[in-house]
Amino acid sequence: MINPTLTGDSAGGEWTTTLRPVSGWFDIHLAELWRYRDLIALFVKRDFVAVYRQTVLGPLWYLIQPLLTTLVFTIIFGQVAKISTDGLPQILFYLSGFVAWRYFSDCLTKTSNTFVGNAHLFGKVYFPRLTVPISVVLSNLIAFVIQVALFLCFWGYFAVKDADIHFKPLLILLPLIVLQMAFLGLGCGIIISSLTTKYRDLAQLVGFGTQLWMYATPVVYPMSIVPKKWYWLMALNPMAPLIEFFRYTFLGVGEVNALNLLVSFIMTLLILALGIVLFSRIEKSFMDTV
């Protein structure tokens, strides 16, 4: 695996490309990723357009999927299981949790296939390999924004109906929470992607493991119903405080704990750092094993 370094004088029209092997445990070059921003934009367009190409409803599926999932959650967990939603309208409660969780889970599952799914491309031409998972995170962000807009439509409807919902001032911190969800999904995804180059069984467990993780996160239930003795376990789940924060900022109900958010942030940084280290090491020789 090689990294090119451009040197020279652009005014003279001459550039020298220095090729050197990837070295070190944390070999990532942000400047190089920035130089390939046009390629990232192309990958984003490819990922966003290709998902529902040749489908009848096309991009409408970005709205239909959260609506159908919310309907199922409302019937099963709200009407049948009678799980509390802390007094919030059930549709808003489940839709808010699902939209936030869906962004994270899509980032995780789609980046977990980076090496195996793009081996044919990686083996033909050089470009920073991290451009692929980064483009996945950005294309998922577009879908996330669309689904948040759908959620806000329902929020406006219930607000007009005098439901007890209201924005919180902490809403201004929401971009940071979304960024953390992206980093967490990216970190987990590239860790799995790095490991699946040798252990293909992991690819079969990603979907199942993500589903289990969702039920260990307050997506279909509020933190208020979790017994106090299990709070320590929820604190080890970096997505739990993020989902609660997302719901709290929009609906005014939820448990926002600064310590849990700090622990979640530290865990996210550690997972992302571990992912980049593994990614940097594996990309040098993955073509021999894929």
* CB environment 148-163: b (16+ within 10 A), e (fewer): bebbeebbeebeeeee
- Residue reference for tokens 């739990």: 240
Whether the Cβ atoms of residue 157 and residue 55 lie closer than 8 Å to each other: no
Range of weakest confidence among 47-61, 72-86, 232-246: 47-61
Look at residue 201 in the predicted model and tell me its pLDDT.
Answer: 73
144-186 pLDDT per residue, tens: 999 999 999 999 999 999 888 989 999 999 999 999 999 999 9
Listed as own residue / partner, the contacts of 202-208 with beta carbons closer than 8 Å and 24 or more positions apart are 202/112, 203/112, 203/113, 203/116, 206/108, 206/109, 206/112, 207/109
Residue 143 has pLDDT above 50, yes or no: yes
Q: Give the separation between CA 37 and CA 112, rounded to whole angstroms.
A: 21
* Average confidence (pLDDT) over 64-89: 93
Look at residue 274 in the predicted model and tell me its pLDDT.
Answer: 94
97-130 pLDDT per residue, tens: 999 999 999 999 999 888 777 777 777 777 788 8
**pLDDT class of 88 with cuts at 50, 70, 90:** very high
Look at residue 16 in the predicted model and tell me its pLDDT.
Answer: 56
- Say how far residue 125 (Cα) sits from the centre of its chain: 27
